[in-house]
Structure 1
């Protein structure tokens, strides 16, 4: 059953794929690949653009489905759907930009490097962004000429179904874009065991990503892994503290902190630490938490029971180890999965929350002596997805861009995602890229043709 996070009650149920269903899906993906690959680039582009137009038309309906199943405020949900349309429009244009090249050779010889679709792709999407995670799993493959089988989260199925339905209605063949649901481990093992699937793309936890990478290795399938993070935010004393607070507090509590690029460890220069800390606490206490359909809600519930339960354990562990709880810290009410926007300060490095992704509405704010200590702390963890820095010093900005270990760095801002920019991490945050031209290139293989007269 699918639970609504505001009330914690089931409101929908899903089919569960049997092994026979999955075999049928694999056969269809094989057929769909042959047909879609042979479809002209012009036609593929037109179909994907039509899909994007349908997603825009249906944004309010798909957005409402996301808020109902995942909890985020309706404005955020509709914005997520519009981003899907924008990404699909970008990918549509890439259909005609999959250029190869010809190498320099004497007359009578020719060497051509061509880029071809890798084959059927299996995608596994997380529940935190029910629409965009699915779009990232199917958009790149379809633009490249691949077929795709995607498994959205069983906890948040409707957002992804809305995206795929728009693609099918636009003319993507049913065999080329399929959705399955079931027991996640059974579905992933079955699809990854099949030689039909040539690439696996996954958004989720580092632990599950490592497991899927091992399964993919048995058949040497290509993989894209978009895994966890623990976003550091370096705040220097030369920045506009109020602007930094306005931007970063809003970003912290977006989607109740259930964002892989969520800013989490705020590393603040000592002489502005108290001002920053107090301003953050003030903003955390002002966040309006409520049902995502209420117009003035700024933060909805967490998406499932695991959210507040896991966060409570981490907050208690941090307090026991000496962290100061300055705002929030508790669940809200006894209905649904609501949790207070929370601030912990002076959190010791041995607290679990300083080492494991909290994936919830909690900010950790620590004073730091200088730039070197801040960069060392930013790089201490095995994660490297998004990092943030606020400073007016141009030389320092260059050093941070160079030295911080992350797939994406935002300087004096909070955006790390754009349809034309590659999105992905390093170290335990995974490998491979989505979005941008790189998101399509990830679904291509290169072939070199050496030809003589």
Structure 2
């Protein structure tokens, strides 16, 4: 059986706390094992990263960028194998897993190509120059739901900026992170510049963040854990990049293309079994087209084939585990108890594995938990509305503020709704995909800081101001 190891000081090694089982969510059986780090492993990783950072920060940005480009080429040659392992661990369909790795490659390449430009001195004039410098050792925490692309979005810009990174990847789906680290190793990354650890999350986060070696924390995951990490980081004044939960509203006006909108929402909502913080999770439909939209959306959702990712006909795989199934049942039962109507799905599928079908709920009262908590699964309420003021007020009631979506042909309506929605991003007449050159911003309980794009790259830098009476420019070390 495959056992994934820790990567510290440019060597693969066993964990001091033995191994943890990795469960195939489609079968409910053990598919592999992963090393479980202890405090000795963490101390070694910290010391190695501290030494590696001093070497890496002095490495010319163009050289750092070239290494990332080589790593991307190496990873690309191994996508098929890595994607299959991800399917077994996380439950994605083969197409979803391969697509995620392609986005990870784009992130590695974008960061590699931008390294020299974004690390160059910024000439301010008046004998002033700003020097972008690597912020320091980064502790990166990634979730199980998009293990390849999120690992890449944290590793690539930090490495391009000149930072050493300790990546704490999810134990549930380690294969993606291992594949990326293997590619970096093969590309020639110096010892200590990147480390990979697995293990008990609270112990690891507490230990890493208690060290003054770590200067920046980047985390994608739940709001609850994000707040805990921010509190821990405050003790050493470590900066934080927190991409947390979401409860994305979709607002559909009566001039929208009903069929096209239903197909787009279905495609994005049920990707990865709805286990995405940016996925649509509340649908608001203007009353004149409400019944027509519900009928169209139900038909599209009903056509989704739920099953094992190894079946080529499968279009939606399982949820990650029993706790996720229990959450879907709790949210559904609560909505029914409060007067809602389940119009599709509503119960787990029988047999092995953790399968919950696409579930549509109508007549949802405002106090239903499905409108308050992040569902993080293939369950979605559909609510009727009459006007802009009403729907934006309802959409903004959520404590989350990550993504939102609008469907309307009216540019005037678009402008009004964009202005009134309290979310980090608003996407109009399309659905948002993660791109290397674009930020994924959150506000309110969805976090703060930027991941992706130029702003996400700059998050791993400090700016040193140089005032020099005898010179106005700096030669860039390349």
TM-score (norm 2): 0.92
User: CA offsets, 1:22-45, max 9 Å, x none?
Assistant: 011000000111111111122111
Rounded to whole Å, the distance in 2 between the matches of 1:143 and 1:42 is 9
1:416: Cα distance to partner?
4.1
- CA 1:297–1:174: 2 relative to 1, 3 Å: farther
- CA 1:231–1:19: 2 relative to 1, 3 Å: same
Q: Where does residue 125 of structure 2 map in the other structure?
A: 104
User: CA offsets, 1:123-165, max 9 Å, x none?
Assistant: 0101101111211221111010000001111111111111111
Q: Where does residue 197 of structure 1 map in the other structure?
A: 214
Corresponding residue SS for 1:175: coil
User: CA offsets, 1:43-72, max 9 Å, x none?
Assistant: 111110011111211111111111010001
Q: Where does residue 21 of structure 1 map in the other structure?
A: 41
Q: Where does residue 97 of structure 2 map in the other structure?
A: 77
Q: Where does residue 86 of structure 1 map in the other structure?
A: 106
Rounded to whole Å, the distance in 1 between the matches of 2:329 and 2:228 is 27
Aligned 8 A contact 2:153 2:436 in 1: no
Q: Where does residue 301 of structure 1 map in the other structure?
A: 318
Q: Where does residue 248 of structure 1 map in the other structure?
A: 265
Rounded to whole Å, the distance in 2 between the matches of 1:10 and 1:103 is 58
Aligned 8 A contact 1:6 1:337 in 2: yes
The answer to whether residue 8 in structure 2 is matched with residue 8 in structure 1 is no
Instruction: Give 5+ residue unaligned stretches, structure 2.
Output: 1-20, 471-478
Corresponding residue SS for 1:424: coil
Rounded to whole Å, the distance in 1 between the matches of 2:331 and 2:318 is 18
1:430: Cα distance to partner?
0.4
Rounded to whole Å, the distance in 1 between the matches of 2:433 and 2:151 is 19
Rounded to whole Å, the distance in 2 between the matches of 1:207 and 1:408 is 21
Rounded to whole Å, the distance in 1 between the matches of 2:419 and 2:188 is 44
Aligned 8 A contact 1:140 1:434 in 2: no
The answer to whether residue 399 in structure 2 is matched with residue 382 in structure 1 is yes
Q: Where does residue 343 of structure 1 map in the other structure?
A: 360
Corresponding residue SS for 1:55: helix
- Counting only pairs closer than 5 Å after superposition, residues 1-400 of structure 1 correspond to structure 2 as 1-98=21-118, 99-105=120-126, 110-400=127-417
Corresponding residue SS for 1:2: strand
Rounded to whole Å, the distance in 1 between the matches of 2:190 and 2:368 is 50
Aligned 8 A contact 2:103 2:434 in 1: no
* Aligned residue pair count: 449
- Over the residues paired in the alignment, what is the CA RMSD in angstroms? 1.1
Rounded to whole Å, the distance in 2 between the matches of 1:295 and 1:301 is 14
Aligned 8 A contact 2:273 2:378 in 1: yes
Rounded to whole Å, the distance in 2 between the matches of 1:332 and 1:378 is 31
User: CA offsets, 1:320-367, max 9 Å, x none?
Assistant: 011110000111113110111100012111011110001000111000
Corresponding residue SS for 2:101: helix
